[in-house]
Amino acid sequence: MNTEYESDFYAWARENAALLRSGQLSRVDLDHIAEELEDLGKSERRALGSHLRVLQTHLLKWRYQPSHRGISWRLSIRNARLDIAAITKDSPSLKPQIPALLADEYPGARSLALDETGLPAAAMPTGCPFDVAQVLDADYWPE
């Protein structure tokens, strides 16, 4: 059996896993396995960035629209922090990338927060007003 990578990914993955486990390294599709491993790493980094964007969006709404604070925003903030903690626990090498990801994701978070709140652009800073410690601190709630 030699399943094509492009025609049936699931079968290809199972077959290559079995080949690796049985020590049949000469039959393993090394190029595609290396590509998939790189893609897995990129996917984890994108997921971390996405959670940081969601977290910043809700922290901004929490700070700049206090009259609308509610359980939904609180849960979104808590869930994002839990997801970030889970990702960095499983992939600790991503933790040092948080400051850069925070900065990269802030413009999108700000845009989302402005859209959701209807506030004017001048109401929120163009640079992230939260430092990494605040963003990740389960007890931090911007006032």
70 domain residue, yes or no: yes
Question: How far, in Å, are 8, 11, 77, 107, 136 from residue 103 at the CA level?
Answer: 38, 40, 18, 8, 14
37 domain residue, yes or no: no
Q: How far apart are CA 129 and CA 59, in angstroms?
A: 10
Q: What is the pTM for the complete model shown?
A: 0.85
73 domain residue, yes or no: yes
Residue 73 belongs to what domain range? Answer: 46-136
Distance of CA 92 to the CA centre of its chain: 13
Q: What is the pLDDT of residue 2?
A: 59
Tally of domains within the chain: 1
What is the SS3 assignment for 132? Answer: helix
**Per-residue pLDDT tens listing for the chain (143 residues):** 556 888 899 999 999 999 999 999 999 999 999 999 999 989 999 999 999 999 999 999 999 999 999 999 999 999 999 999 999 999 999 999 999 999 999 999 999 999 999 999 999 999 999 999 999 999 999 98
